């Protein structure tokens, strides 16, 4: 019987965990490279530097134990309101006691137009199917509460965040042994084309929108104008006899 894995970090050292980590690191490396600002946070997986390609000058990894730059509970972040430009959250919500509270904290600290990038396990996949057949004490990552994408998008929308982009990866079945993962590596290349929603891991990006004042602009449409009526002008009426007298005088 396999030894139960008690932490997500332990699971990431397994062949299956390495398979996931390689693809997630690649995705975060590409996404954070084009985001700018002053402060960035990484919540979760603090042993990995998912902000290593980020151009933001101040990057912090938050952990509830060792391995992070800031020790804190992700459900109660020690940062001021609207002070963070970017938050990356790899597999945080699945293992949080109150995932909606974590999202509220993230939106609280985000600047207007700030971004959050998350990864999570897809319950509508072979990975989600395996989780259903696992025992309750199966260990990581199967002990987590996999959150489906429509539900997560609803949460983000309620908190004022607009979903901008996303994708999936890890289409191969969640085999424990590396030879089997390599045997099914062909599924990774074909996944986006043939079963786009069947990836074991999803990524989602969202932007915090803040409702502001509505700019009132002039009405640029030309008004329909009526042609101005010509006002009648007074005309001098000359009597015929007076006209003859005047003509005779001129002669």
Residue 241's beta-bridge partner residues?
A: none
Look at 90-99, 131-140, 152-161, 220-229 and tell me which has the smallest mean pLDDT: 220-229
Long-range contacts of 136-142 (CB under 8 A, 24+ apart): 137/4, 138/4, 139/4, 139/5, 139/6, 139/11, 140/5, 140/6, 140/7, 140/8, 140/10, 140/11, 140/95, 141/8, 141/11, 141/91, 141/94
DSSP class per residue in 183-206: HTTHHHHHHHHH-TT--SEEEEEE
Are 114 and 84 in contact, with CB atoms under 8 Å apart? Answer: yes
Quick: pLDDT tens for 90-112: 999 999 999 999 999 999 999 99
pTM of the model: 0.78
- The string of pLDDT tens digits covering residues 200-219 is 999 999 999 987 645 455 56
For the chain, domain boundaries: 8-208
Here the tokens at position 56 are 């933001």
Fold of 8-208: Rossmann fold (3.40.50)
Least confident of 48-52, 66-70, 193-197, 198-202: 193-197
- Cα gap 64→22, rounded to integer Å: 24
């Amino acid at each position: 019987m396999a030894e139960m894995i008690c932490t997500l970090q332990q699971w990431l050292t397994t062949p299956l965990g390495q398979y996931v980590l390689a693809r997630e690191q690649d995705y975060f490396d590409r996404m954070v490279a084009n985001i700018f600002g002053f402060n960035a946070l990484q919540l979760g997986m603090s042993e990995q530097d998912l902000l290593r390609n980020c151009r933001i000058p101040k990057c912090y990894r938050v952990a509830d134990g060792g391995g992070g730059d800031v020790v804190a509970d992700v459900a109660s972040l020690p940062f001021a309101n609207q002070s963070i430009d970017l938050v990356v959250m790899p597999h945080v919500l699945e293992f949080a006691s109150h995932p909606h509270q974590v999202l509220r904290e993230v939106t609280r600290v985000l600047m207007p137009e700030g971004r959050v990038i998350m990864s999570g396990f897809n319950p509508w996949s072979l990975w989600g199917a395996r989780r259903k057949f696992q025992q309750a004490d199966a260990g990581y990552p199967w002990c987590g509460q996999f959150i489906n994408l429509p539900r997560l998008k609803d949460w983000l929308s309620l908190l004022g965040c607009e979903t901008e982009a996303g994708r999936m990866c890890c289409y191969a079945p969640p085999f424990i042994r590396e030879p089997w993962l390599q045997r099914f590596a062909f599924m990774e290349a074909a996944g986006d084309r043939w079963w786009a929603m069947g990836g074991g891991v999803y990524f989602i990006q969202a932007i915090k929108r803040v409702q502001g004042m509505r700019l009132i602009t002039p009405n640029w449409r030309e008004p329909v104008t009526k042609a101005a009526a010509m006002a009648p002008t007074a005309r001098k009426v000359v009597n015929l006899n007076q006209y003859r007298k005047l003509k005779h005088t001129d002669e």
